[in-house]
Structures are given as structure tokens and as C-alpha cells.
Structure 1
């Protein structure tokens, strides 16, 4: 990243279910010396706590896309990173940005094996005990949060809303190929980790996939690794342009 630019390159971090703009705090701290870090967030949490939750995936993509376009500085290259729900939504955001002639240099999805792999039954409407049992099995919350009832009280409505928007029957299936190169990462203890090569079917460009130690929230112990991956991808992207 030695090229002279008017601003630092940008990286957009898309949060997971139950998350907000501060969900990647340690990763943000590692990236900020090198990037303009942008952290869009959905309504009903963080700085948007007073706003109503969204009901379906299309609305969530549209909401995040407005934030990405507003923050985007076209004078510099950028990447999109999304974990879990953020990876699901980020895939569609990449296509929309490509269609507006401002494609990201790379898409980095983590904690998600790509479309048409996961086949989990809906959980958003389950009673509390069953709901959190399923959330734990799906890796939807870190073990630290699961130990405190007060934190579960706080996160329950956000998690129900996020799982609900992903499970909504009105969602339009999305399985299109993007032109953006993909670098996908999953934790080896995740249920669908061995399906990670599925991402090769959803980009027309190169696709690299890695499996690292950890569960669905491997990102919390591997933020230095992720920061280095993002820096390497940006260097590669800028060398191609």
C-alpha cells in the first residue's frame, strides 16, 4: 500500500447476527493505521437503537448499501468483509456495487460457506430456552455472552430480529456469481467448514478458501490473522489495478 492516494484505502466491515458497528473492535484497531475502516450497521442496535428492526433480507441489503455508498470514496480502492450474516448480505452488496461500476477489490466472507449449503430450520420464533439452545449450536453467540443472563436479555431481541430477517418467507433467493475475487475463511469446528469450497461457484474471478482453528467465532481469537489477510488482499488488488 505504498501508492500515493488522497486517502487511505477503505475496508467495509459487515457485522454478524446480533452484532453492531463495534462488533469487530479488535480487528478495527489492527486495521485503522492502514485503512479507513467503515462499519455500517442495521437498525435496532448501536447508534441506531431507536430505529425499528428490518423484516427481510432485501431490506437489510438495501439499508447497508445506502451506508456503503454514502461512505465510499471512489478515489481509493476498497474491500468488503462480512462475517456470517454479514457475509450473506455482503455477497449481494458486492453485486450491487459491481453493477454501479464501483466493484470492490476483494470480498472476504467468513463464517459462511456460501449459498445453498446451510439447511437449518427457522429458529427466530422459538421459546427462549429452545431459541438459545439453537443459537449456541449454530454458534450465533460467543461463549462469553452465553454465560450471562443480563447479556442474553439484551441480545435476544436483536438476535431474533436478525435470524428472522434471514428466515423470512418473502426473501428472494440469491445465488448469483459476482465478478469480485473471493477469499473465504471458516473455523474448522464450524458445521459447514468442509463446504467452504462452495464459494468457487459464486465468483467468476479467483477464489481462495482457508480453514483455521476455532469455531464460528474464530474471528475473536484471530483478528491479527484477519487484519494481515485484509492487508495482503489490498496489496494484491492495488498491484492488479
Structure 2
């Protein structure tokens, strides 16, 4: 049973190579909310668990985490890049349980069916590193340190496999929750952002902000305010 004094809950799903700490830069803006970053196995607090490489398994893992932590009927899902695809699928799984997210907010992804011709998770090592540099978000200290890179490389490749195969192969059914989409104006396919409208039977909104794939780090306040507006004003149908 829902606690009548439960705070609205914000569940956050990381990008490829991310972990439970990936959204710490926003936490300061959510004092009156239950701010709950999640992570897949094989990294962060779950470093001893087996890395997943299958989209269905990854979505099931995130779904189970949310169900185990869900306390309020007013909750929102947020995902960046790979996380955007996962929250779309997880929102559908939650609907089957009778839990409809108040809204989902996604960033850094043009949505299912819109993808690059590159299959990054299969690239040779040097080309893979080059792609990581292009995307940004990976410190040079890691890319240039053999031991650190060898530690994170299998995690990132597995996450890319999850994201890339899902965009090409998975069938996504429109969800009942409103969708709010954000992308950086320097991102490839940012002109396709309205593709997300296809995946909701409710309201849809979008904005293209200045920046590259990790534009979110330069728009922490704006992104946080968008989430708070979405969970305060949206109404799932």
C-alpha cells in the first residue's frame, strides 16, 4: 500500500558504461523527491555480478529494481542514451503490473528504429576508442590508461550491444505515459527527435539543447526542472 507521505520518486537509468553514480550531478536539485539512480550488473555497487548483453534481460533487471523500490503512485522514469530505450520498455512492463509512470523523460537518443550505420560494439579496439572519444563522456585518464581501459571496455561493449540490437531488432509498443525527449544539437540524428512521438498514446514534448551527446552535464538545472515539471503536471491516461 502506498505511504500517503511518500515523496514523488525519480528513477534514473544510465547510459552505456554508466553506473549508479552517473547522475550525481543532478541530485542536489531533488531534495523534495526520492532520487533513485539504478544500475545494471557488472559495475558500481554490482561489480561482482555478471555483465548483461541482452536487452530483454537488462529491461527485466531494471523493472525488478523499480518494482522493489516503488512506494509512490507519482513516479517518473528518466534514461539517457541506452537508458532511454530501457525506460521505454520498462514503462511498458510496469503498465502490465498496473503501475503507470507519471511520465518518462529521455535524452541523448532519437528513439527506436533510428540508428547509426555503425555497429560500435563490434568495432576493433582502436576504432572503438575513437568512437568513445567522439561521443565524449569518457575521461582521457581512462582511455589512455591500459589497465583502466581494459576494465571498463567489456562493460561498455556489452551496453552498446544492448542498445544497438534493441534499436534494430526490438518491437516497442506505445506506452500510456507522456514522453519528454531531449537531445544535443551536435548529436547525430537530433533532427529525428520527434520519432519519440510514435511511442506514446499520451502527450509528447521535445527540446534540442546546445551540446554533444553528453549535453546533460551542461544543462543539469534545466533537465532537473523539466523532470519536476513533468512529474507535477503530467497525467497518464
Instruction: Give the Cα–Cα distance (whole angstroms) in 2 for the partners of residues 160 and 6 of structure 1.
Output: 42
Instruction: Give the Cα–Cα distance (whole angstroms) in 1 for the partners of residues 161 and 206 of structure 2.
Output: 28
**Cα distance change, pair 172–70 in 1 and its aligned pair in 2 (3 A):** farther
Structure 1 residue aligned with 2:78: 81
Structure 2 residue aligned with 1:101: 98
Post-superposition offset of 1:147: 5.1
Instruction: Give the Cα–Cα distance (whole angstroms) in 1 for the partners of residues 23 and 150 of structure 2.
Output: 21
Structure 2 residue aligned with 1:90: 87
Structure 1 residue aligned with 2:7: 8
Aligned: 1:146 with 2:140: yes
Instruction: Give the Cα–Cα distance (whole angstroms) in 2 for the partners of residues 42 and 21 of structure 1.
Output: 9
Structure 1 residue aligned with 2:203: 206
Instruction: Give the Cα–Cα distance (whole angstroms) in 1 for the partners of residues 27 and 117 of structure 2.
Output: 31
- 3-state DSSP class of the match of 2:186? coil
Post-superposition offset of 1:128: 1.6
**Structure 2: runs of 5+ lacking an equivalent:** none
Instruction: Give the Cα–Cα distance (whole angstroms) in 1 for the partners of residues 59 and 137 of structure 2.
Output: 25
Instruction: Give the Cα–Cα distance (whole angstroms) in 2 for the partners of residues 194 and 212 of structure 1.
Output: 12
Instruction: Give the Cα–Cα distance (whole angstroms) in 2 for the partners of residues 214 and 161 of structure 1.
Output: 26
Post-superposition offset of 1:165: 2.7
For this pair of structures, how many residues does the alignment match? Answer: 231
Instruction: Give the Cα–Cα distance (whole angstroms) in 1 for the partners of residues 57 and 101 of structure 2.
Output: 21
Structure 2 residue aligned with 1:61: 59
- 3-state DSSP class of the match of 2:173? coil
Aligned-pair Cα RMSD in Å: 2.1
Instruction: Give the Cα–Cα distance (whole angstroms) in 1 for the partners of residues 61 and 192 of structure 2.
Output: 29
Instruction: Give the Cα–Cα distance (whole angstroms) in 1 for the partners of residues 114 and 164 of structure 2.
Output: 15
Instruction: Give the Cα–Cα distance (whole angstroms) in 1 for the partners of residues 117 and 156 of structure 2.
Output: 16
Instruction: Give the Cα–Cα distance (whole angstroms) in 1 for the partners of residues 223 and 170 of structure 2.
Output: 29
Instruction: Give the Cα–Cα distance (whole angstroms) in 2 for the partners of residues 72 and 120 of structure 1.
Output: 38
**Structure 1: runs of 5+ lacking an equivalent:** none
- Say which of 41, 44, 48 aligns to 2:42: 44
- 3-state DSSP class of the match of 1:26? helix
Give runs of aligned pairs for residues 158-197 of structure 1, distance below 5 A: 158-168=155-165, 172-197=169-194
Instruction: Give the Cα–Cα distance (whole angstroms) in 1 for the partners of residues 122 and 115 of structure 2.
Output: 19
The TM-score, its normalising length taken from structure 1, stands at 0.89
Instruction: Give the Cα–Cα distance (whole angstroms) in 1 for the partners of residues 11 and 117 of structure 2.
Output: 28
Post-superposition offset of 1:76: 3.8
Instruction: Give the Cα–Cα distance (whole angstroms) in 2 for the partners of residues 108 and 146 of structure 1.
Output: 29
- 3-state DSSP class of the match of 1:159? helix
